[in-house]
Amino acid sequence: MTKSTTAQRPLGSGHDARSTADDVLRGVDLTGRTAVITGGYSGLGLEATRALARAGAHVIVPARRPRQAAAALSDTPGTEVVALDLADLDSVRAFADGVLASGRTVDVLITNAGIMACPETRVGPGWEAHFAVNHLGHFALVNRLVPALTPGRARVVPVASSGHFLSDIRWDDPHFRDSPYDPWLAYAQSKTANALFARHLDTVAGDRGPRAFAVHPGSILTPLQRHVPREEQIAQGWMDRDGRPADGFKSPAQGAATAVWAATSPLLEGHGGAYCQDCDIAGPATSDDMLIGGVKPWAVDPAAAARLWELSADLTGLDAFA
């Protein structure tokens, strides 16, 4: 097993925060490749789906709302919608079993779907919903799809966030059973989990792959903020009173760029497990300004990543690399 030793140091990719998903994929031919993008029918996930399909990939879009997904993708050839509810591990198993039964291989798996700052919600055996949907559902999905991931070539790209700045993993109480529920800390913990998942997945997968990269897409106004009242978004400085995004916010097409870059760029060979932003490897965070970004040490700590993997495997009963 080859352990990830990636340093959080930009490579100089030639792209930046202004690049779009189409910019990143210009000249890239993905004909014959298969991608899976959870939440690939809304916000930046929709832009990633469209860009990968335009580059020639066949894109499978798992969706909790299949009719809505089919409508959103009706004008995007090369896409396929399949039902999946990340809050339900039986649904995750059914989706993965369908992919495996088809005999297809998966070259790109972007775990993009998620929830943000929602009211306290319990799923499964009482799991907190952010941790369950944003992390554990994707952990289960990736582990079940390992047999389909193209050996030596597949990439897994968890979509994290600078929201991880607000919380490490709450090791003593990840499900807020013994402390008051805080929607922002719940979201933040799940985003730290996304980054740590990529770090350890890349480690345990070894030389056969898949390679894994966590990405911060940037600050973008999308349906992800559906649970955040408009007045709160204005107070946070995300938008003005006319609904225009604040300076420094990206369009959804720009927000999708780092995920598709991490899924396809040859520059990332040898850099598995890295946390990326603005179409490059992110440097360490030098402040608490989430708009500037970077990565906090707790989101790339190898020991924490291994500990989270063990916890997640225990909770889901899954570990494809055990």
Determine the Cα–Cα distance for residues 15 and 212; give it in Å rounded to an integer. 20
Extract the runs of DSSP E, i.e. beta strands, from 151-249.
Answer: 155-158, 211-212, 214-216
The C-alpha atoms of residue 313 and residue 322 are separated, in whole angstroms, by 10
Residue 197 and residue 311 in contact, taking contact as beta carbons nearer than 8 Å = no
Instruction: Identify whether 210 is preceded by a cis peptide bond (ω within 30 of 0).
Output: yes
Whether 104 contacts 148, CB under 8 Å: yes
The H or E element that residue 2 is part of is none
DSSP 159: B
SS3 (DSSP) at 4: coil
What distance in Å separates the CA atoms of residue 138 and residue 110, rounded to the nearest whole number?
10
Closest by alpha carbon to 312, among 114, 109, 138? 138
CA–CA distance, 57 with 64 (Å, rounded to integer): 22
Residue 181 bears catalytic tag:
no
Q: What's CA 13's distance to the chain center, in Å?
A: 20
Give the β-pairing of 275-277 and 280-281. antiparallel
Q: How many Cα atoms are found within 13 Å in the side-chain-facing hemisphere of 147?
A: 9
Closest to 143 in 3D by CA, of 195, 204, 88: 204
DSSP bridge pairs for 110:
37, 157
Helices (runs of H) and strands (runs of E) counted in the chain:
11, 11
Of the residues 41, 181, 187, 275, only one is catalytic, namely: 187
**Which of the residues are catalytic?**
187
